[in-house]
Chain A
Amino acid sequence: MHILVVDDEADVQPLFQQRFRKEIRSGEVDFTFALSGEEALAYMAQNKSKIILILSDINMPGMSGIELLHSIRHDYNSPPPVVMMVTAYNDQDNYEQAMKEGANDFLTKPLDFAILKEKLKTVAE
């Protein structure tokens, strides 16, 4: 399963790589990291149907996660990837906005990787 992680925090990359060490090693998942929405869209344009799942932070400089979601749902929606939004703001406003734009799920920071892995399993199935 190919997962695209979008976050402006550079340390997200080593964190995911270490958290999913075993899954990466077994080839269950493989990650691509983008530091901004723009970067993510550029990557998706290159690798159309490769991506199954997108994990995106909402609050980023430049394009926000919500905007990215909007773009994905309008421009890169064939086949529709699973998009999960991750945010530090656990507020109703963000949640509703994300759902309205067609997010599949909504996770809050700090990330609980156990829950994340459970969710990934349901996506994989």
Chain B
Amino acid sequence: MKKYLLISLCLVYSFILVAKDSATNGRLDTIPEKGVVLDNKWRYSTEDNPAFAKPNFDDSTWDTLNPLNPASDLFPLQKASYGWLRFHFSISEKLSQQTWLLVLRQTCASEVYLDGKLLVRNGTLGNQPKDVVPLGANLPPIALHVKDTSKHVLAVRFGLPPNPIFPNGTFVGPFLHAKIMGVPQYYEQTRTMVQNSSIYASLIAIFFLLSLMHLSFYRHNPAQKANLYFAAYSLTMMVGFFLVELLSFVQDIRWFVYADAGAYVFTLSGGVWIVCALSFLFKYINLNLIRFLWVVQFGLILTVLLSKWHIYPFLAAIVLPTVVQLWLTAKALKAKKRGAAIIAAGFGVSLVFVFLIILLAVVQILLTQQLWVTLFLFVIFLSPALGISIYLAREFALDSQLLKVKLIQVERLSSQNLAQQKEKQQILAHQNDELERQVAERTAQLHQSLQELKATQAQLIQSEKMASLGELSAGIAHEIQNPLNFVNNFSEVNVELLEEMEAVLQKGDTEDALALASDMKVNLRKINEHGKRADSIVKGMLLHSQTTSRQKEKIYINTLIEEYLRLSYQSFKTKDKTFQIDLTTQFYPDLPEIDTIPQYLGKVLLNLFNNAFYSVSEKKKTLKESYSPAVWVNTFKTQNGIQIRVKDNGVGIPQRVLDKIYQPFFTTKPSGQGTGLGLSLSYDIIKKGLGGELNVTSEEGEFAEFTIELPLMKVRQVEPVLVPTHE
């Protein structure tokens, strides 16, 4: 920013004044308000002779020089480590009435003589150039007691330090700047300096505080890097201004020069820190641009310090970061970034004052008033900094507010959450209670259902029995009607035969009577046979419907099988009269009698036969003519018992239901056609009731074969098989 120009204006103010101050011609008739600088007419010698201090010494052979030039220009090879300057002057009558002050600024050590009398010694001259300590800044004024209008001689013995103080002589300043001024002017100048100084001091303090504030912002929110860069800017500026402040105290010219150079370095690098801060603050981060800017800036600063034409790079070092800063701000304004206006306002105020200063400088009003310049400077400096600072502080505050709001939200949410949790827990507890209650209720219901189920099951088993009885009834009716038919008819025939026999006997024909008797005997045997047949059928039927525990008895298995096969087949035929089954029975002859309960075994056989017939009939329905149904019933003698096999070439049992077929109520028949109890009862009868085994092998669509194994040995008294024990 152009404010730096003005710092520099302060720094090089004296040079400007030098240019403005009236020159002398060795005679001071009037001394201007600001005093007079003794710029030429100085004669010099590079020899060192104490006699040169004397007023009557003839220096007419000496060359002249202008000591306002830098020492490095005047004595390029530093040959003159010690030398002398002489200045002849006289003042007018009017001026000789006043008290005059000689104010020196120099880049050497010196002894000043007025008319051969030592006035002051500045710095240390020593005997060797290396001992020279140049004191040349902020020197106290020297009173000049010149009370006449005659010629006077100001002689200066100087000592130069062996090495140049700074590579660039122009930057170091004049070799000897001697100014004669009145006491009021000096007072005025001193007052201005003190005021400037206090303004700089306050700038130092302000920037120090700003840097502290933004460092603490950064510490609390490291995510906002802008605070860090702004703190760096503030610290840099603080150091810069501190160095500027030093310039009004330091006497050793070497320190003065370094402080001056430092002030340039620091104040000029501040602009780049601002660019960093703005980049991060507006989130237009372009690290390459920033690196480039640093490099260029340091190049420019070095040029300022090391070249003779330092005003141009100096201006460039001010303008370049300023342009980037303004560009960033404009971009942010255009994008309507939050708070960009605050920063823009800071820059705006600063720029207004810069233009004012330039305007006033042009019309030469202000530059005569150092204090005003400094005050303007103060504003120019602080307003962008304050703009950025306010912005950042506002961001911080907004973040804090946001955090507060968020915190409140979080608190609210967590309390809501807590409430919800509580509610959930309550609901859960309530649900648990409800669940417990329901479980208890359901358990009771289930228990009841189980009881009902057991009752139903018993009923079902009973009705299954009745159903199988019903299935048999047709067969049984037929079976009974047949022997009954014979009993009735043969007995009727016998009555007729008896009548005939009586008639024959009355005739006395014994032969005929005997023939009739033998016929009757045959008939009676038949009557008896068929009566027994009916009896056994009825017995079997009764047995079948009985549910009481039964004793085992020795029975002929083959006979039992035949009887039941016949019953089953007859029953089956009544349902479908056109149905043809190829029945093959192969019974092991002389099968040993076994202890078993015939009606139980009969029930099992009946089930197996019915299933076989059903299976082949189902297959016939789908395959029609191409299929001839067949059922095989075989008995075998095994090592420790007997085996009954019932095989059919029907639909078979699918693999997936093979392990289910013994489950109660499992049926593959259409609903209403099978109870699903037949095989389960059969299994229980064989396993539990008769101590045997019931096995099945099948191939779906091909065949099914059930095998009953019954043991020969005496088995325990069996329990009645009423309820399937699969539960």
Given the complex of chains A and B, what is the CA–CA distance between A66 and B577 in angstroms? 7
Q: Is B414 an interface residue (CB 8 A)?
A: no
- The reply on B522 being an interface residue by CB < 8 A is yes
Contact of A11 among B478, B481, B486 (CB under 8 A): B486
B98 on the A face (CB < 8 A)? no
State how many residues of chain B have any CB contact under 8 Å with chain A. Answer: 30
In angstroms, how far is the closest chain A Cβ from the Cβ of B572?
Answer: 11
Can you name the residue of chain B whose Cβ is closest to the Cβ of A19?
B493
- Check A18/B580 contact, CB under 8 A, given A59-B478, A89-B474: no
Q: Which residues of A contact B485 (CB under 8 A)?
A: 88, 109-111
Count CB-based A-B contacts (< 8 Å): 67
Give the size category of A's interface with B. 20 to 34
Q: How far is the CB of B699 from chain A (nearest CB, A)?
A: 28
Assembly CA distance A63 to B580 (angstroms): 7
- B residues less than 8 Å from A61 (CB atoms): 569, 573, 583
Partner of A110, one of B489, B519, B570: B489
Find the residue from A62, A88, A97, A108 having the highest chain B CB count within 10 A: A88
How long is the Cα–Cα vector from A88 to B484 in the complex, in angstroms?
A: 10
| B488 near A67: Cβ-Cβ < 8 Å | no
Find residues 477-505 in chain B having any chain A CB closer than 8 Å to their own CB: 477-482, 484-490, 492-493, 497
For chain B, what secondary structure do more than half of its interface residues adopt (helix, strand, loop), or is it mixed? helix
A9 near B: Cβ within 8 Å?
Answer: yes
Q: Which residues of A have CB within 8 Å of B486?
A: 9, 11, 15, 110
**How many Å from the CB of A95 to the closest CB on chain B?**
13
Q: Tell me if A110 and B577 are in contact (CB < 8 A).
A: no
B34 at the interface (CB under 8 A from A): no
For the complex of A and B, list the 6 residue pairs with the smallest distance between their C-beta atoms, beginning with the closest: A88-B481, A110-B485, A88-B478, A109-B481, A109-B485, A110-B488
**Given A11-B530, A14-B522, A109-B484: A59 and B490 within 8 A (CB)?**
no
Select from chain B the residue with minimum beta-carbon distance to A58: B577
Asked if B288 CB lies within 8 Å of chain A CBs, one says no
Which residues of A from 60 to 78 have beta carbons under 8 Å from B? 61-64, 66-67
B577 touches A15 (CB 8 A): no
Closest A residue to B497 by CB, please name it: A18
Give min CB distance, B328 to chain A, whole Å.
108
Residues of B within 8 A of A19 (CB): 489, 493
With A and B bound together, what is the CA distance between A18 and B527 in angstroms?
14
- Cβ of B526 under 8 Å from chain A: yes
Q: How far apart are the CA atoms of A76 and B577 in the complex, in Å?
A: 21
Q: Is B628 an interface residue (CB 8 A)?
A: no
| Smallest CB gap from B490: residue in A | A15
Assess whether B369 is interfacial by the CB under 8 Å rule. Answer: no
Is A64's CB under 8 angstroms from B569's CB?
no
Is the beta-carbon distance between A110 and B523 smaller than 8 angstroms?
A: no
Report the separation of the CA atoms of residues A26 and B143 in the bound assembly, to the nearest whole angstrom: 198
Interface centre among A11, A62, A64, A111 (most CB of B within 10 A): A11
Nearest CB to that of B519 among chain A residues?
Answer: A18
- Residue numbers in B under 8 Å from A97 (CB-CB): 577
Given contacts A11-B530, A58-B577, A66-B578, contact A113 B489 (CB under 8 A): yes
